[in-house]
Amino acid sequence: MSDAAQYLVTGLTLGSIYALVALGFVTVFSVTGVINFAQGEFVMLGAMLAAQFVQVGAPLPLAALLAVAGAALVGALVFEVGLRPARGASELAMIIITIGASTAIRGAALLAWGTDPRPLAAFTPGPPIELAGAAVVRQSLWVLGATAAVLVALHLFFSTTAMGRALRACAVNAVAARLVGISPRHTGLAAFVLSGAVGAVAGVVLAPLSYATYDMGLMLGLKGFVGAVLGGMANPSGAVAGGLALGLLEAFGTPISSAYKDAAAFIVLILAMLLRPGGLFGRGLGRGSL
């Protein structure tokens, strides 16, 4: 029983990170129609920048804030420099541009920080907390809390602010949104800034659990993409559900065979997609609503 509780906690923690990455994918995809393969690099930037700022003496909250702002800025750059000049190109061309951006960001991180993993201290030091027979690392609670906070903030942003409503309009129908005066340039930029910031939050809370390395973004990006697709690629709640499902799948798969953990997760996913091609939690195919 306590084993199951332990896997549950691990799975939810891991799943929360995947969910945040998936949220970034879905936000950008809904608004711009682009699958942003640089999404994982935003997570890496969040972790790396936070570790860097703490190392030079910044207090943790400030370091976290600066890291999130930095990744958001890079998100803006990816859109303005890479994607906007290529507007109207095929989806595959857009994907290649984001792959190029992701390679460049990874190279820049390697140049700036080298290959050594960078540590970041846990937000609140102390022994793990006993909970229903499971030992919960305190940082796990930070991960879960941060994910919940981001979800609430995103929900408020999308439902109450003018920019949030503009983004949702774009997601429902880009042409109609343009006809009523919503600039696709502004919404695209906002989507990338938002997904950069959300990705960086994941990186900041993840860093104390696993060291920050320059190449951590690739696998996290893939997992987040899987979560987003599982959720139907159409709405934030689907993305969160997909990310959590993937985390739980991995955690409960570990005792069966840790070597084949990744393979098993993907096999289950492929089977799931074949059985439910509309996404496990989505209402249907294609771009939905934010």
Partner 1 sequence: MSWLGVPRRDWVILAAVAVVVGAAPLAVSRYYLSILVTVGVYGMATVGLCLLAGYARQISLGHAAFYGLGAYASGLLAARWDWSPWITIPVGVLGSGLVAWLLGRPVLRLSGHYLAMATLGLGIVFQVALNELTELTGGPSGFSGIPSVPLAWLPFNSEVRSLYLVWALCLALLGLALWLVNTRIGRVLRAIGESELAAELLGLDTAAWKVRVFALSAAYAALAGALYAHYVTFLSPAPFGFMFSLELLVMATIGGLASVWGGLLGAGIVVVLTETLRSALPKSLPGSSGELELILFGLALVAIMALRPSGLAGLGRVLLGRWAPRAALATPTEAVEAESVGEAARVGS
Residue with Cβ nearer partner 1 (119 or 184): 184
Span 226-255, contacts to partner 1 by CB under 8 A: 226, 229, 233
CB under 8 Å, gap of 24 or more: what pairs does 263-266 form? Answer: 265/226, 266/226
* 274 near partner 1, judged by CB under 8 A: yes
CB of 88 to partner 1, least distance (A): 5
Residue with Cβ nearer partner 1 (2 or 257): 257
Sole window of 10-18, 76-84, 116-124, 149-157 interacting with partner 1 (rule: CB under 8 A): 76-84
CB of 232 to partner 1, least distance (A): 10
CB of 168 to partner 1, least distance (A): 15
Span 50-69, contacts to partner 1 by CB under 8 A: none
Distance of CA 161 to the CA centre of its chain: 22
* 172 near partner 1, judged by CB under 8 A: no
**Rounded CA separation 133/155 (Å):** 34
Q: For 203-218, b where at least 16 C-beta lie within 10 A, e where not — what string? A: bbbbbbbeebbbebbe
Q: What totals of helices (H) and strands (E) does the chain contain, helices first?
A: 11, 2
Residue with Cβ nearer partner 1 (142 or 225): 225
**Rounded CA separation 39/191 (Å):** 12
Distance of CA 66 to the CA centre of its chain: 18
The site string for partner 1 over 87-106 (x = CB under 8 A, - otherwise) reads xxxx-xxxxxx-xxxxxxxx
Closest of 2, 6, 26 to residue 235, by C-alpha: 26
* 273 near partner 1, judged by CB under 8 A: yes
Closest of 210, 171, 279 to residue 10, by C-alpha: 210
CB of 202 to partner 1, least distance (A): 20
Candidate list 26, 177, 202, 239; residue touching partner 1; CB under 8 A: 177
* 32 near partner 1, judged by CB under 8 A: yes
3-state secondary structure of 37: coil
Residue 231: how many other CB atoms lie within 10 Å: 30
CA atoms within 13 A on the CB side of 88: 1
Whether the CB-CB separation of 82 and 101 falls below 8 Å is answered with: yes
Candidate list 107, 145, 255, 284; residue touching partner 1; CB under 8 A: 107
In one-letter notation, the amino acid at residue 12 is: L
Residue with Cβ nearer partner 1 (101 or 134): 101
* 35 near partner 1, judged by CB under 8 A: yes
Query: Which residue(s) pair with 212 in the sheet?
Result: 118
Closest of 104, 43, 105 to residue 68, by C-alpha: 43
* 218 near partner 1, judged by CB under 8 A: yes
CB of 164 to partner 1, least distance (A): 19
Which residues make up the interface to partner 1 (CB under 8 A)?
32-35, 37, 79, 81-90, 92-97, 99-108, 110-111, 174-175, 177-178, 183-185, 188-189, 218, 222, 225-226, 229, 233, 259-260, 262-263, 266-267, 269-270, 273-274, 277, 285
